[in-house]
Amino acid sequence: MAEETPICDFGWKAPAFTLPGVDGKSHSLETLRGPKGTLVMFICNHCPYVKAVIDRIVRDAQELAAYGVSAVAISSNDTVHYPEDSFDNMKRFAEAHRFGFPYLFDESQDVARAYGAACTPDFFGFNDKLELQYRGRLDASRKEAAHAGVRRDLFEAMKGVALTGRGPREQAPSIGCSIKWKAA
């Protein structure tokens, strides 16, 4: 079922976390923090919305690094009911798509809850003070990638955050598959 993200809560502080990565290391928000901004992305391997844009996500994260914005991807889905999102499959997914950023596993789902993650993909763009400045879409893509010349909403927003510390006032919500929560 498709889910949209809520509007940006400007200034909301990024919750700290430490999670295992597919690279075999533990990563914390503090060690991942970029000098001009930090992009925290909730994704997963099986979501058709993520699959449609994963190469664009990788491209934008790589290009944002030149502006001092670091990126991290987190998978929080229930892997019992969604085995395609398992840690081993995360490793394969990251390798296949040549991630240039850490891909972390939130097995407890505590980080997704702390962030209020709603769907995959869900983008949280923070400034250098880890204050939320962007909670919007990558671009106009849905389950299929939009045409090649589409406006790069996430990239332009985070470039602006890197240069000014502020995100755009107008933001279109991201849309994707709901986070697959474990049964209570």
- Domain with 46 in it: 2-178
User: Terminus-to-terminus CA distance in the chain, angstroms?
Assistant: 20
Residue 183 lies in a domain: no
H-helix segments, the chain: 29-32, 48-65, 87-96, 110-115, 153-164
CATH number for the domain that contains residue 149: 3.40.30.10
For residue 3, give Cα distances in angstroms to 90, 101, 120, 121, 173.
Answer: 22, 25, 9, 10, 10
Give the mean pLDDT per block of 10 residues along the chain (184 residues): 86 98 98 98 97 97 98 98 98 98 98 97 98 97 90 97 97 95 88
Residue 26 lies in a domain: yes
- The pLDDT value recorded for residue 1 is 61
- The pLDDT value recorded for residue 2 is 75
Q: Count the domains in the chain.
A: 1
- The pLDDT value recorded for residue 163 is 98
Q: Each residue of 105-136: pLDDT tens digit? A: 999 999 999 999 999 999 999 999 999 999 99
For the record, the structure tokens of 9 come out as 């809560």
Residue 155 lies in a domain: yes
Say if pTM beats, i.e. exceeds, 0.95: yes
Contacts of 84 (CB under 8 A, 6+ apart): 45, 46
